[in-house]
Amino acid sequence: MSEAMGVAVVGAGYWGPNLVRNIQNSPRMRLRWLCDLDVERARRVIGPYSTVQTTSSLDDLLEDPDVVAVAVATPAATHADVAMRALDAGKHVLVEKPLASSSAEAVKLVDAAEERGLVLMCDHTYCYTPAVMKIRELAHAGELGDIHYVDSVRINLGLVQRDVDVLWDLAPHDLSILDFILPSGVVPEAVSAQGADPIGAGRACVAYLTLSLTGGAIAHVHVNWLSPTKIRTTIVGGSRRTLVWDDLNPTQRLAIHDRGVDLSSADNLGDQARREMMISYRSGDMVAPALVEREALASVMSEWADAISESRPARTDGRAGLRVLDVLEAASRSLEYHGATVPLRVDR
Q: How many other CB atoms are there within 10 angstroms of residue 145's CB atom?
A: 14
Residue 82's pLDDT is 98
Count of domains for the chain? 2
185: left (phi over 0), alpha (psi -120 to 50) or beta: left
- Of 91, 118, 145, the last residue of a domain is 118
- Of 67, 92, 118, the last residue of a domain is 118
Residue 85's pLDDT is 98
Residue ranges of the chain whose pLDDT lies below 50: 1
The residue range of the domain holding 35 is 5-118
Q: Are 201 and 160 in contact (CB under 8 A)?
A: yes
Residue 266's pLDDT is 54
HEC per residue, 5-19 = EEEEEECCCCCHHHH
158-162's contacts with Cβ under 8 Å and 24+ in sequence apart are 158/225, 159/225, 160/199, 160/201, 160/205, 160/225, 161/203
Residue 199's pLDDT is 94
Q: In the chain, what's the furthest Cα-to-Cα distance?
A: 81
Q: Domain with 41 in it: what CATH number?
A: 3.40.50.720
Same domain, 150 and 73: no
Same domain, 160 and 248: yes
Same domain, 44 and 109: yes
Please confirm whether the linkage preceding 198 is cis (ω < 30° from 0). Answer: no
Residue 348's pLDDT is 52
Same domain, 171 and 289: yes
Q: Domain with 211 in it: what CATH number?
A: 3.30.360.10
Residue 279's pLDDT is 67
**Residue 311 maps to a domain:** no
The DSSP code sequence of 36-56 is -SSHHHHHHHH-TT---EEES
Same domain, 161 and 77: no
Residue 275's pLDDT is 53
**Residue 50 maps to a domain:** yes
Write the CA distances from 74 to 4, 227, 283, integer angstroms: 24, 29, 50
Same domain, 183 and 68: no
Residue 109's pLDDT is 98
Residue 286's pLDDT is 86
Residue 263's pLDDT is 66
Residue 95's pLDDT is 97
**Residue 192 maps to a domain:** yes
- Of 118, 153, 170, the last residue of a domain is 118
Same domain, 184 and 215: yes
